């Protein structure tokens, strides 16, 4: 295996903690529900061959399987995939691949590729993205979300974390659940378009939730916040403020 892939973040030994930290909080729930909202809006009808790249413990794969899609769940963490296998044991149309997404079978292509909150954990996210685009069929869709570097800078300016910013967001004692490699949306969008894909949708994920002055409102006013995220999250200027950025792109037939 290529050495750089070995530097990608794996959640072995902390997969349980990861799932609780992400999906057991209002921020994780909101991110998941907003992604589902946009997928329902933009994906074509019918059963699709789907790759869930960096699919972790299978939360999004379960949603896709419930909609009748066929899913290959890929992750570098064997422990996360063990959890996914248990969660998805009742579905017949699911398979699993443990390893870097660059090691996926080159001859297998997909109608839909999901890559949600993965790029920011990789040592070379654009190399990974290049490999994913090769696995996408003509006429296929890419759903990509990633940690937004611009919003990361904005939030730390609001918090007054000037030393952290001056160190280019690098700390000596990095928390394993903090993303390593946030990306500017403009760079990712430019990369996708230069690769020949058509951007069909773009939105910020958690444009308001994370900036609430009263953090208790993140739970007490969850439905109101979600409604505003949907109302404004795909409009200027708010989409650029989302802690995560989401896009759906189509690979043309020719």
Q: Give the residue ranges of the annotated binding site for S-adenosyl-L-methionine.
A: 31, 54-55, 75, 116
Shortest CA distance to 22 belongs to which of 103, 86, 83?
83
Q: Give the residue ranges of the annotated binding site.
A: 31, 54-55, 75, 116
């Amino acid at each position: 295996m290529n050495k750089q892939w070995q530097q990608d973040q794996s959640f072995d030994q902390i997969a349980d903690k990861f799932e609780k930290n992400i999906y057991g909080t209002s921020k994780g729930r909101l991110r998941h529900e907003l992604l589902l909202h946009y997928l329902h809006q933009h994906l074509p009808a019918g059963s699709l061959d789907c790759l869930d790249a960096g699919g972790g413990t299978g939360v999004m794969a379960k949603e896709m399987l419930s909609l009748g899609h066929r899913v290959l769940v890929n992750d570098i963490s064997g422990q996360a995939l063990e959890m996914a296998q248990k969660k998805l044991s009742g579905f017949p149309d699911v398979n699993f691949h443990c390893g870097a997404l660059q090691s996926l079978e080159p001859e297998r292509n997909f109608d839909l590729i999901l890559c949600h909150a993965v790029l920011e954990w990789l040592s070379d996210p654009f190399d990974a993205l290049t490999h994913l685009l090769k696995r996408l069929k003509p006429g296929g869709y890419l759903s990509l979300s990633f940690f937004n570097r611009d919003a990361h800078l904005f939030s730390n300016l609001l918090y007054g974390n000037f030393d952290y910013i001056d160190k280019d967001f690098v700390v000596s004692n990095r928390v394993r659940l903090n993303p390593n490699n946030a990306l500017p949306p403009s760079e990712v969008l430019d990369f996708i378009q230069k690769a020949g894909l058509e951007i069909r949708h773009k939105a910020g994920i958690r444009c308001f939730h994370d900036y609430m002055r009263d953090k208790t409102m993140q739970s007490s006013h969850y439905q109101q916040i979600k409604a505003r995220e949907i109302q404004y999250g795909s409009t200027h200027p708010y989409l650029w403020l989302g802690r995560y950025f989401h896009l759906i792109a189509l690979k043309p037939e020719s």
